[in-house]
Structure 1
Amino acid sequence: MSLADENADENPYLREPQTDFAPVEDLSEDEAREQAELLCEAIREHDRRYYVENDPLIADRTYDTLFSRLQDLEDGFGLTNPDSPTRSVGGEPLEAFDTVEHVAPMLSIDQSGDAADVREFDERMRREVGDVEYVCEPKFDGVSMAFVYEDGSLERAVTRGDGREGDDVTRNARTIGSVPQRLHGDYPDFLAVRGEVYMPKDAFQEHNRERIERGEKAFANPRNATAGTIRQLDPSVVAERPLEVFFFDTLDSSDGIESHHEELDSFPEWGLRVTDHVEFADDIEEAIDYRDRMLEARDDLNYEIDGTVIKVDEREAREELGRTARHDRWAFAYKFPARAEVTPIVDVAVQVGRTGRLTPVALLEPVDVGGVTVSRASLHNPEEIAEKNVDVGDTVRVQRAGDVIPYVEDVVEKGSEGHYELPDHCPVCDSAVERDGPIAYCTGGLACDAQRRRSIEYYASDDGLDLEGLGEKSVRQLVDAGLLESVADLYELEREALTALEGWGETSAENLRSELDNAREPPLADFLSALGIPHVGPTTARELAREFGTFEAVREVARTDSDRLEGVDDVGETVAGQIHDFFTSEANADAVDDILEHVSPQESALETGGDELEGLTFVFTGSLSGVTRSEAAETVEAHGANATSSVSGNTDYLVVGENPGQSKRDDAEANDVPIVDEAEFRALLVEHGIDLE
């Protein structure tokens, strides 16, 4: 009989609970404490029925009401209970994780994808301990952790680490719904269990979709998403992400359990969730057959597995077999072959870029492509989608362009009717979507959250004002904290607000504020590039600055005289149209005016100095001392050279400053382009009679 059946008459919150509660302030402390205890007991049982039994007693909305009532009681009367379900909502961020020793070693196991190795394992088992029976389980592809319960209460949760010690992530583990805060039934006084934390496949795809549409980097696969989440220093972040856990082994216990199948039978009675896909095997051939059946079933599971685990059932035999320094000798993992190139599309997310361009991204069942696990691939644009006739449900072949960027090559098996259609409105800001040939754009401009955040990142990037300390991660953190809603907000960041954030100290906050103060009078070309005008990178920005001299002149011409724009080197009709659209957008105009309240772009005073560097092409990366990259580029151009933003076979020199980008260096090495540091660059200029200052 379950707890719900035993206590149904005594606990009114187990079955058909009444949720019309009296105001908290009308209760006495004793009444509040009694109601809170009943709610704690009921919510723990509802968690067990939901996560372990998959048989909920009440609707989700009713559960939420009970949970909120418990929170109100604890807050209103200052009630503290270490086992309260409300501890699952997180807490204040941690500064770092403590390292703790495991109660028993968490070792790895031997593994192979070859049936001959599995049979050899069986021969060794029978040779050393005689006849054995096996328990076969899925090999979960998640994050292995130890969970320690004392007197039924969760005492700590620890990552596997090096197998001897790991990180104490208890506060994060408490936010996972399927991790019980307190055990049920007749549990041991002391219990340490091993579990696998994972992100369900459907939840992973939905989480990735949300990240892509917010302009954040998607996770490569569910395991990476899980590992990145469980080691977050802020438990509230973990609480927002869809993690689950399966428990599959006892590490240590005060009760002597004689076999593995007994402990797996006991786990659900104690509230510990186990997989339904556990089977006995009388001999190794049955274990091999189990693996083959699980290989066929893997795509139907809502969690990733990469093989099966074959375990000796009897504890006494396990003790006799023992372990090596690295692995337990009584278990063997029979691995699956890696998925290769062909995989189904489970969803399509639409990413909004800095310029408003919509890029459809196929979310895939993770697949191995050239030794790399791929879970998303570009669909490029609406015309290509229609040409390939691709949609959710289709099985596709995935390739990597230049061995780097995944893309959908073709449809192998059609599982849908027709092809995917881009939305008519932006998935981020709901602005209308317009087409420019094969490309679709959000018309929201800087009023679109995705474009605005990416515009802040670009403004601070190497091609913008090169603001040290403002990368993608820090910008996202500042935006999520509500400190940045626009580029202009950068100049109003307060030291106190920055130091209140995780990872920000007095020094980093002051360094950023100093960096921003130094960027209040940027060179015109740098400022034009930093605005993120479509198709206007550093090279085009320098041409505009050279032609018009001041920002107001550029803006006025952009609004009123497209012919003059088209006459500028490196512009042309298409780019001129993009510049015109940018400056005539009301949202963009407001955003630029806000920036100009803090920034005064300097006039361009480029003078032609001669042709000493004629025929040479330079590319700059990293920060130079005393001058900006834009000023260095203007100098070489004034003396006849070309300055471009990307490395090619036509590049003569890559000039590398402090904190350079890796991609340009890789391109230079691939194209045999000489790489010079700042001192060598300045020496080269001196040889030609040119002063960089």
Structure 2
Amino acid sequence: MSDADAGSDSNPYLRAPPTEFDPIDSLSRDEGAKQAELLREAIREHDYRYYVDADPLVSDAAYDALFGRLQDLEDAFDLDTTGSPTSRVGGTPLDELETVEHVAPMLSIDQSTEAEELREFDERVRRTVGEVAYVCEPKFDGLSLEVVYEDGEFVHAATRGDGQRGDDVSAQVKTIPAVPLRLRGDYPETLAVRGEVYMPKPAFADLNRERVEAGDEPFANPRNAAAGTLRNLDPSVVASRPLSIFFYDILDASEMPDTQWESLDDLRDWGLRVADRIERVEDVEGAIDYRNRMQAARDDLDYEIDGTVIKVDSREARERLGEKSRSVRWAFAYKFPARQEVTILRDIVVQVGRTGRLTPVALLDPVDVGGVTVSRATLHNPDEIESLGVAIGDTVRIKRAGDVIPQVVEVVEAGEQHSSARRTESDEDAGGSYEFPDECPVCGSVVDRDGPLAFCSGGLSCPAQREASIGHFAIKSAMDIDGLGGERVSQLVEEGLVESVADLYDLTVEDLEALDGWGETSARNLVESVAESKRPTLDSFLVGLGIPEVGEATARGLAREFGSIDAFPLGSDTDEAEFDAFEAQLQTVDDVGETVAHHIRDFFENEDNRAVVRALLDRGVEPEPVESGGDELDGLTFVVTGTLSVPRSDVTELVERHGGSVTGSVSGNTDYLVVGENPGQSKRDDADERDVPVRDESAFAELLAERGIDYPPA
């Protein structure tokens, strides 16, 4: 499956190409189409030579002339531009980013800055699979991405998201020149690869200079610039910014190589850009030496890295090592120490989050920390302030944890305010560090302390919590309301149209059309999306309420235990005995221990929160009761590969509700592999090797029906 003559010398536009062309009106349509195809092949080769090989064949001016000619031909003869290099220039702005299922899970990896923890990782590996070689790679500080090809053609790209699903950023990624729209060489029929989108440091500096000159706020660092750009809904904006990418893993393919080292060679052969500072070492000490050399060289690189990644080379050994729920057991990130600098703390402000947690933030004299200007840093919580003994005016040491999040490490020198109030051994009652407020700085409610943490007791009556709760209420895993991003939520709150999530159900098209930036279509779409959200599943409704410590898994457990929203304490006159019984029942739910149960009780014990829930029910929101399910699938473990007719999360919920489990990889404990469309070959091979029964979706439905379970789930 080789690319058609892309690198052939018979193409006149490869070497010393002409930059002056015959008038287009002198060409027939067939002649124009033939010239356009030659130009496309040449431009793809020039992109590869420039972005992957770093060995361009032509000057920038010659490239621009070829590209311009291709655009003119496509426009003049109305040629199909699917897969053409000209499709990189952007496209119609998107209304929002869709969520897509990954072809294969994009799991994280364990990490540490300590060599001893890497050695412990190595010991665990060798205990399981014996001696192994490692492939050592830079740990890029960008945005992780899945890119999928079929028959060598770009199909789609998605962000990592939660590891199972991510945002579809295909339109944006197509504009990145280093991402080939067509593969080279002998590529597999289906291919899903993982890479890291980043912004080169010199390009980042130029972009920030342009933003400052235009009066715009500069980006904080290259990673934020890359992430913000890639999620921009206007592909033409993405195309105008200097993003690039490194590819480093094959997630799934119709033919999988035997080692990581071979994988990297294959990626290069297929025209996918791979970093050149990658090494294969024979033991963990070689990996430690590699990391130390990369740390010394990091400032000389034109891209940001925050450590190195050490991967078991053998794929067979990887499969034996397996994975945990969120991370793999065959790779480890050996991070660099955080960069640190000293500056003066000028003020402390307290921010209020969605759950009411109060987070103190230090305002600093701007200081450069590892190439990033830092003017704010977290102080974590009241206990951290007391432990540091920090006060306004102190000279403090700042570090960027993971080279991203600035935080205060220690007081280097006390300021005048602090010195005059600092405790002494003879005066233990004297003042010292910054005094944390007893009242919420936003709503004035009493601040409650929970160990080292502080929370506003105002619940959803607190404006800060209210605005954040509205945005959270709308997310896909909750009420799934399209078109309700952060800026629109702020606008609705500022205009007085929405004070709580219940007010969303009172919005009219006329209300929204009267606001800046809204048209009839966008207004009608939001009102319809809100109306369509009135019949959520109970677990989605519980996620939407934003109860501290209640994510999707815990919400499913609560929904199975309580069955209906009516089983929760919602009355205005609910007494303490009822809450005691409620808390006791909570602790019978899987994964709900004493602390989580206490958080859930606190949420429902707040009358303002209960009032919001009652208001939602009064406006016609009807969380669908959850049947108690049963043990029809008790003891059965399923693995799903490919795309089914229903979301994989719905399949997981259905299986779990009836006593079974769904895991991410085939092992000796797997009972069935369920195969949808475009399945991963590696899971099928694993199933064949372990004699695991394979069922397509139809056979899976029959298996469930035999046990009295309806499929697909309603």
Q: TM-score, normalised by structure 1?
A: 0.51
User: 1:8 offset after TM fit, Å?
Assistant: 4.1
- The 3-state SS of whatever aligns with 2:203 is helix
The reply on whether 1:366 has 2:380 as its aligned counterpart is: no
The reply on whether 1:505 has 2:524 as its aligned counterpart is: no
Alpha-carbon contact 1:341-1:367 (below 8 Å) kept:
no
What residue in structure 2 maps to residue 319 of structure 1?
A: 319
Number of equivalences: 385
What residue in structure 1 maps to residue 119 of structure 2?
A: 119
Task: Work out the CA distance in 2 between the residues paired with 1:242 and 1:337.
Answer: 28
User: 1:405 offset after TM fit, Å?
Assistant: 13
Task: Work out the CA distance in 2 between the residues paired with 1:399 and 1:339.
Answer: 5
User: 1:186 offset after TM fit, Å?
Assistant: 1.1
Alpha-carbon contact 1:196-1:247 (below 8 Å) kept:
yes
Alpha-carbon contact 2:129-2:317 (below 8 Å) kept:
yes
What residue in structure 2 maps to residue 37 of structure 1?
A: 37
What residue in structure 1 maps to residue 256 of structure 2?
A: 256
What residue in structure 2 maps to residue 188 of structure 1?
A: 188
Question: 1:559-598, CA deviations, whole angstroms, 9 ceiling, x for partnerless residues?
Answer: xxxxxxxxxxxxxxxxxxxxxxxxxxxxxxxxxxxxxxxx
Task: Work out the CA distance in 2 between the residues paired with 1:250 and 1:502.
Answer: 46
- The 3-state SS of whatever aligns with 2:340 is coil
Task: Work out the CA distance in 2 between the residues paired with 1:131 and 1:362.
Answer: 44
- The 3-state SS of whatever aligns with 1:341 is strand
List gaps (5 residues or longer) in structure 2: 344-365, 380-396, 409-486, 489-511, 524-714
Amino acid at match of 2:518: W
Alpha-carbon contact 1:147-1:193 (below 8 Å) kept:
yes
Task: Work out the CA distance in 2 between the residues paired with 1:305 and 1:192.
Answer: 24
Amino acid at match of 1:505: G
Q: TM-score, normalised by structure 2?
A: 0.50
What residue in structure 1 maps to residue 608 of structure 2?
A: none
What residue in structure 2 maps to residue 142 of structure 1?
A: 142
Amino acid at match of 1:274: V
Quick one: structure 1 residues 503 and 237, their matched pair in 2 at CA, closer, same or farther if it must change by over 3 Å?
farther
Between stretches 228-237 and 16-25, larger displacement belongs to 16-25
Quick one: structure 1 residues 7 and 99, their matched pair in 2 at CA, closer, same or farther if it must change by over 3 Å?
closer
Quick one: structure 1 residues 371 and 292, their matched pair in 2 at CA, closer, same or farther if it must change by over 3 Å?
farther
Alpha-carbon contact 2:198-2:303 (below 8 Å) kept:
yes
What residue in structure 2 maps to residue 88 of structure 1?
A: 88
What residue in structure 2 maps to residue 430 of structure 1?
A: none
Quick one: structure 1 residues 243 and 342, their matched pair in 2 at CA, closer, same or farther if it must change by over 3 Å?
farther
The reply on whether 1:102 has 2:102 as its aligned counterpart is: yes
What residue in structure 2 maps to residue 540 of structure 1?
A: none
Amino acid at match of 2:47: D
User: 1:145 offset after TM fit, Å?
Assistant: 0.4
What residue in structure 2 maps to residue 285 of structure 1?
A: 285
Task: Work out the CA distance in 1 between the residues paired with 2:399 and 2:133.
Answer: 44
User: 1:84 offset after TM fit, Å?
Assistant: 0.4
Amino acid at match of 2:241: R
User: 1:7 offset after TM fit, Å?
Assistant: 4.7
Question: 1:284-334, CA deviations, whole angstroms, 9 ceiling, x for partnerless residues?
Answer: 011011111111111111111111000000111111111110001100000
Question: 1:60-107, CA deviations, whole angstroms, 9 ceiling, x for partnerless residues?
Answer: 010011011111111111111321000100011011111110000000
User: 1:236 offset after TM fit, Å?
Assistant: 0.4
Alpha-carbon contact 1:14-1:42 (below 8 Å) kept:
yes
Quick one: structure 1 residues 503 and 146, their matched pair in 2 at CA, closer, same or farther if it must change by over 3 Å?
farther
Alpha-carbon contact 2:7-2:42 (below 8 Å) kept:
no
Task: Work out the CA distance in 2 between the residues paired with 1:298 and 1:327.
Answer: 26
Between stretches 97-106 and 360-369, larger displacement belongs to 360-369
- The 3-state SS of whatever aligns with 2:276 is coil
Alpha-carbon contact 2:342-2:367 (below 8 Å) kept:
no
Task: Work out the CA distance in 1 between the residues paired with 2:339 and 2:36.
Answer: 50
List aligned pairs for 1:43-54, cutoff 5 A: 43-54=43-54
What residue in structure 2 maps to residue 171 of structure 1?
A: 171
The reply on whether 1:77 has 2:77 as its aligned counterpart is: yes
Task: Work out the CA distance in 2 between the residues paired with 1:3 and 1:48.
Answer: 13
Quick one: structure 1 residues 236 and 507, their matched pair in 2 at CA, closer, same or farther if it must change by over 3 Å?
closer
- The 3-state SS of whatever aligns with 2:147 is strand
What residue in structure 1 maps to residue 207 of structure 2?
A: 207
Task: Work out the CA distance in 2 between the residues paired with 1:253 and 1:405.
Answer: 42
Question: 1:35-58, CA deviations, whole angstroms, 9 ceiling, x for partnerless residues?
Answer: 111011000000000011000000
Task: Work out the CA distance in 2 between the residues paired with 1:209 and 1:363.
Answer: 18
Task: Work out the CA distance in 2 between the residues paired with 1:221 and 1:7.
Answer: 38
User: 1:131 offset after TM fit, Å?
Assistant: 0.8
User: 1:368 offset after TM fit, Å?
Assistant: 7.0
Question: 1:530-566, CA deviations, whole angstroms, 9 ceiling, x for partnerless residues?
Answer: xxxxxxxxxxxxxxxxxxxxxxxxxxxxxxxxxxxxx
Structure 1 stretches of 4+ with a deviation exceeding 3 A read 2-9, 360-364, 367-373, 397-400, 403-406, 501-504, 506-509
Quick one: structure 1 residues 175 and 508, their matched pair in 2 at CA, closer, same or farther if it must change by over 3 Å?
closer
Task: Work out the CA distance in 2 between the residues paired with 1:307 and 1:134.
Answer: 16
Quick one: structure 1 residues 502 and 7, their matched pair in 2 at CA, closer, same or farther if it must change by over 3 Å?
farther
What residue in structure 1 maps to residue 535 of structure 2?
A: none
Amino acid at match of 1:146: E
Task: Work out the CA distance in 1 between the residues paired with 2:79 and 2:181.
Answer: 17
Task: Work out the CA distance in 2 between the residues paired with 1:502 and 1:107.
Answer: 41
Alpha-carbon contact 1:198-1:245 (below 8 Å) kept:
yes
User: 1:28 offset after TM fit, Å?
Assistant: 0.7
Alpha-carbon contact 1:199-1:222 (below 8 Å) kept:
yes
Alpha-carbon contact 2:143-2:197 (below 8 Å) kept:
yes
List aligned pairs for 1:421-440, cutoff 5 A: none
Amino acid at match of 2:101: E
Task: Work out the CA distance in 2 between the residues paired with 1:333 and 1:366.
Answer: 23
Quick one: structure 1 residues 135 and 404, their matched pair in 2 at CA, closer, same or farther if it must change by over 3 Å?
closer
Amino acid at match of 1:119: R
What residue in structure 2 maps to residue 128 of structure 1?
A: 128
Task: Work out the CA distance in 1 between the residues paired with 2:114 and 2:160.
Answer: 27
The reply on whether 1:226 has 2:226 as its aligned counterpart is: yes
Alpha-carbon contact 2:340-2:399 (below 8 Å) kept:
no
Quick one: structure 1 residues 109 and 42, their matched pair in 2 at CA, closer, same or farther if it must change by over 3 Å?
same
- The 3-state SS of whatever aligns with 2:331 is strand
Task: Work out the CA distance in 2 between the residues paired with 1:6 and 1:78.
Answer: 23
Amino acid at match of 1:212: V
Alpha-carbon contact 1:259-1:315 (below 8 Å) kept:
yes
Task: Work out the CA distance in 1 between the residues paired with 2:369 and 2:115.
Answer: 33
What residue in structure 1 maps to residue 424 of structure 2?
A: none
Question: 1:477-508, CA deviations, whole angstroms, 9 ceiling, x for partnerless residues?
Answer: xxxxxxxxxxxxxxxxxxxxx99x99532499
Alpha-carbon contact 1:339-1:367 (below 8 Å) kept:
no
Amino acid at match of 1:188: P
Give the % identical residues. 62
User: 1:5 offset after TM fit, Å?
Assistant: 9.6
What residue in structure 2 maps to residue 565 of structure 1?
A: none
Amino acid at match of 1:240: S
What residue in structure 1 maps to residue 304 of structure 2?
A: 304
User: 1:364 offset after TM fit, Å?
Assistant: 6.7
Alpha-carbon contact 1:133-1:283 (below 8 Å) kept:
yes
Task: Work out the CA distance in 2 between the residues paired with 1:305 and 1:80.
Answer: 40
Task: Work out the CA distance in 2 between the residues paired with 1:304 and 1:155.
Answer: 28
Question: 1:93-135, CA deviations, whole angstroms, 9 ceiling, x for partnerless residues?
Answer: 0111111100000000000111111000000000000110000
Task: Work out the CA distance in 2 between the residues paired with 1:319 and 1:311.
Answer: 12
Task: Work out the CA distance in 2 between the residues paired with 1:6 and 1:84.
Answer: 13
Amino acid at match of 2:371: E
